[in-house]
Structure 1
Amino acid sequence: MILTPFEWTVAKRYLLPGRGEAFIALVAGISLVAVALGVAALVVVMSVMNGFRAELLDKIVGLNGHAIVQGYGGRIDDWEQVLAQARATKGVVKASPLVEQPLLVTYEGRVQAILLRGQTAPDIAALKPKVKSGSIATVAPDAGVVGIGARLAENLGAQVGDTITVINPVGRDTPFGTVPRQVAYRIGAVFEVGVYDYDNAFVILPLADAQTLLLSGDTIGMIEVTTQDADKVSEILAPLAKAVEGRAIITDWKAMNAQLFEAIAVERVAMFVVLSLIVLVAAFNILSSLIMLVRAKTRDIAILRTMGASRRSIMKIFLAIGGTIGALGTGAGLGLGYTFLFFRQNIVQFVQLVTGQNLWDPKIRFLTELPSRSDPMDIVGIVAMALGLSFVFTLFPAFKAAGTDPVQVLRYE
């Protein structure tokens, strides 16, 4: 819609009403602010929800891979053959043997449940960027050194250099029953993955040391597989699933975390629908402000009609007014939303300081920080919705203004 200089001049004049029309200007300003707040809320919430899903997926996949090949009974005896088949599967980027077993750990009288992970040297070295203290390089075969999660270290009150005792309930048989196997390990590194459940439970050991501790011999529990595309993991691993049928089962990240990611998807849609109501209310405000403007300018519109202004010109003027309010509100909302996202962690900390409440408890939220990742398609959809509603709710007052009959209005002037 292209405006002539005359139409644009009149539109600018009506966008800034005179002193006697301050109430109309106030309603229009409220409409602009409401659109901005609605757009900002949608941008912030959708970006945080996308960031939450992406960060959670990155951390879960980064630690567990895209899929797990798990043997029946928790054991894969011919794991070298299965590992070779996995690595030979088209689309598989990486496959590593893995031992994982829930056990207990004690330190100075404190006891806590842990999840022992026996990994290969390259997989252990991959944790180096996540190490908070110590050196992951010290976690080597036969060194008697382990790496533990940061939350686990806090709960035990242990730090790098301390010695913890790992308890395996499956120990040696004696005339008095089974004696649990207890092995002391020195903490060589404390790491933080960023997922609370992992940081609160994981103890990392070299694969051979984990097999010795668990008395499992040369067997493993599972094989961790990473593919080229996490969203197509089922299709990529379909040939491998047929090859290991009867010996092992393949579980991908979608199945392992189905409830979590499904809940995130449902919450994301629900939040979008609820917050869209803010933009809808703002559009109603635009409608009401333009209706009042049309009523206040009825005489002016009639004079413009008698001077030669067409119905189309009058309609374009009021469409431009409503569209400008919507566009300015949308632009302000985008700026406000991205400002909030940029300082999101500072804002969360400030609100926590003022209210005394923990707004982002990692025990509940899984992640240690408020994440954010904007999807361009979401932003385009939000902008299109805000501008579209502003345009639609401008149509009625624009048609009303264009239908003004100058003869009826100016009959007694």
Structure 2
Amino acid sequence: MILSPFESMIAKRYLLPGKGEAFIALVAGISVGVVMLSVAMLVVVMSVMNGFRAELLDKIVGLNGHAIVQAYGGRLDDWESVLAEIEQTPGVVDASPLIEQPLLVTFNGRVEGILVRGNTSDDIAALSDKVLLGNIGELQPRSGTVAIGSRLAQNIGARVGDTITIINPQGRSTPFGTSMRQVGYQVAAIFEVGIYDYDQKFIVMPMEDAQTLLLLGDKVSMIEITVDDPDNVGEILAPVEAAVAGRAVVADWKTINSSLFEALQVERVAMFFALSFMVLVAAFNILSSLVMLVRAKTRDIAIMRTMGATRRSLLKIFVTTGFTVGAIGTVAGLIFGFIVLYFREGIVKIIAAVTGQQLWDPEVRFLSQLPARVDPVEIIGIVLLALVLSFLATLYPAFKASSTDPVQVLRYE
């Protein structure tokens, strides 16, 4: 919308009300503040929820891959041929055998339920950046060493160098019955993935040691797969699923964590819908401030009409005034939202210190830290939503101003 010098001058004048119009200025300022807070809230909430989903997916995929081929009964006999077929599937980036079994661990009289993971040397080396203490390079086949999660280490009181005992209820048969296998392993490293459940349950060991502990021989329980497009993992692995039908089942990250990610998606949509009402409230504030401005400037509008100002000029003046208020609030909201996101960890700690409550409990939130990821498409959508509602809010008062009859207003002047 291109303004003439006259229209631009009047619009600037109305954006900065005079001394006798303090109340109008206050209402306009409140409108800017509400738009700013609503846009900032949308930016912060949507970015945090996007970050939560992305971070959760990255950490889950980093440990489990995008999909697994799990054998019926937990034993995949011809896994080498299945692995070779998977690696030749278009779209598959990586595939490796894996053993995972729920067992028990004991140390100093404490017992915890665990998930024993038998990994290849390459998969174990990939955990090196998540090691807090110790040296994960010591996990060599038949070395009797393991790496345990940080939360599990705290729960059982184990440190690097301690010997923990893993209990396998499936033992060997003896004349006196089946005896449970109890094998001692030295803790070589303590790692932290960042997902509470994983850090609390997982014990990682070389695959050969896991096969010996679980009496699997040369078999594995599953094959984990990484693809180049996680969102289309089902289509990519369709040939694999057909090839292993009857022997194993293919489960991707969407299926394994379906309840969690579906809940996140529903919450994300619900939060955006609910917070959008804040932008609508801000638009009503702009409308009310413009209505008050039109009523206060009725005499001025009539004089401008008698001096030759057209209805179109008045319409443009008031639309520009209201839209500028919305635009200023939107820009301020973006800046404020990004500042909050940048200092989010410090803000959470300050609020926790003031209230005495732990706002980000890893046991509830799965992740150790509050994540955030800005989606440019969503930011553009938020900006457009705020600007469009601001523009629509200006239409009624602008049409009201442009339809002012100067004869009726100035009759008794």
TM-score with structure 1 setting the length: 0.99
2:312 is matched with 312
Counterparts of 2:110 and 2:144, CA distance in 1: 20
The 5 A counterparts of 1:151-300 are 151-300=151-300
Deviations 1:276-311 (A, max 9, x none): 111111110110110000000000011111111111
- Amino acid aligned to 1:285: N
Shift of 1:246: 1.4
Shift of 1:169: 0.6
- Amino acid aligned to 1:292: M
2:39 is matched with 39
2:403 is matched with 403
Shift of 1:243: 1.2
Counterparts of 1:184 and 1:304, CA distance in 2: 92
Counterparts of 1:37 and 1:320, CA distance in 2: 21
Counterparts of 1:75 and 1:163, CA distance in 2: 29
Deviations 1:129-169 (A, max 9, x none): 11111111011111111001111111111111111111111
Secondary structure of residue in 2 paired with 1:399: helix
Secondary structure of residue in 2 paired with 1:40: helix
2:17 is matched with 17
Gaps of 5+ in 2: none
Say which is worse superposed, 38-47 or 179-188, in terms of deviation: 179-188
Shift of 1:244: 1.2
Counterparts of 2:344 and 2:408, CA distance in 1: 57
Shift of 1:245: 1.3
2:124 is matched with 124
Alignment RMSD, CA only?
0.7
- Amino acid aligned to 2:129: P
Counterparts of 1:27 and 1:393, CA distance in 2: 14
2:330 is matched with 330
Counterparts of 1:170 and 1:181, CA distance in 2: 7
- Amino acid aligned to 1:388: V
Shift of 1:192: 0.6
Counterparts of 2:349 and 2:302, CA distance in 1: 57
The 5 A counterparts of 1:340-351 are 340-351=340-351
Counterparts of 2:218 and 2:195, CA distance in 1: 31
1:385 is matched with 385
The 5 A counterparts of 1:88-167 are 88-167=88-167
2:2 is matched with 2
Counterparts of 1:219 and 1:297, CA distance in 2: 85
Shift of 1:240: 1.1
Gaps of 5+ in 1: none
Say which is worse superposed, 327-336 or 152-161, in terms of deviation: 152-161
Secondary structure of residue in 1 paired with 2:332: helix
Deviations 1:85-111 (A, max 9, x none): 111111111110000000000111111
2:67 is matched with 67
Counterparts of 2:227 and 2:297, CA distance in 1: 65
Secondary structure of residue in 2 paired with 1:200: helix
- Amino acid aligned to 1:151: R
Counterparts of 1:75 and 1:173, CA distance in 2: 20
- Amino acid aligned to 1:223: I
Shift of 1:242: 1.2
Counterparts of 1:398 and 1:143, CA distance in 2: 80
Counterparts of 1:156 and 1:2, CA distance in 2: 71
Counterparts of 2:293 and 2:23, CA distance in 1: 10
Shift of 1:401: 0.4
Secondary structure of residue in 2 paired with 1:95: strand
Counterparts of 2:105 and 2:169, CA distance in 1: 11
Counterparts of 1:372 and 1:40, CA distance in 2: 14
Counterparts of 1:90 and 1:332, CA distance in 2: 47
- Amino acid aligned to 2:5: P
Shift of 1:45: 0.4
Deviations 1:165-187 (A, max 9, x none): 11111112234322210111111
- Amino acid aligned to 1:11: A
Counterparts of 2:30 and 2:52, CA distance in 1: 32
Counterparts of 2:160 and 2:318, CA distance in 1: 70
Secondary structure of residue in 1 paired with 2:205: strand
2:365 is matched with 365
- Amino acid aligned to 1:47: S
Deviations 1:111-131 (A, max 9, x none): 100000000000000001111
Deviations 1:42-81 (A, max 9, x none): 0000000100110011111111001100111111011111
Deviations 1:198-226 (A, max 9, x none): 01000000000000001111111000011
- Amino acid aligned to 1:146: V
Deviations 1:376-407 (A, max 9, x none): 11101100000000000110000000001111
Q: How many residues align?
A: 413
- Amino acid aligned to 2:352: Q
Counterparts of 2:136 and 2:6, CA distance in 1: 72
Counterparts of 2:89 and 2:294, CA distance in 1: 69
Identity %: 68
4+ residue runs over 4 A deviation: none
Secondary structure of residue in 2 paired with 1:226: strand
Counterparts of 1:316 and 1:272, CA distance in 2: 32
Counterparts of 2:162 and 2:337, CA distance in 1: 46
